Amino acid sequence: MKLSWNGVGGASGYQIYHSASQNGAYAIVATTSNTSYAKAGLKKGNDYYKVRAYRKVGNTKIYSAYTNINLKAS
């Protein structure tokens, strides 16, 4: 199973969040500098994701808004 998204210009990386339901609580599952995330064992329709970009400025991370649409595993 692999998720992918469009990159954000100037981003240092991305945080990926997961929930078992579309309106449930989301928890961070990964941080990556790539525009994709792969994990074995996920089933179509049972996992929901959202992503936000961040940019490092000195020792501080500045975050974007979360994606407007939840990324659904496919």
Is residue 37 within 8 A of residue 50, CB to CB? The reply is: no
Q: Sign of dihedral through CA atoms 33, 35, 39, 42?
A: positive
Give the whole-angstrom CA distance, residue 64 versus residue 51.
9
Q: Would you state the pLDDT for residue 72?
A: 62
Q: For residue 20, name the pLDDT band (cuts at 50, 70, 90).
A: confident
Q: Whole-prediction pTM value?
A: 0.83
* Amino acid letter for position 56: K
| CATH hierarchy code of domain 2-72 | 2.60.40.10
* C-alpha separations of 54 from 15, 43, 73 in Å: 8, 28, 22
Q: Would you state the pLDDT for residue 19?
A: 87
More confident residue, 60 or 49: 60
pLDDT tens digits for 21-51? 888 899 999 999 999 888 777 666 677 889 9
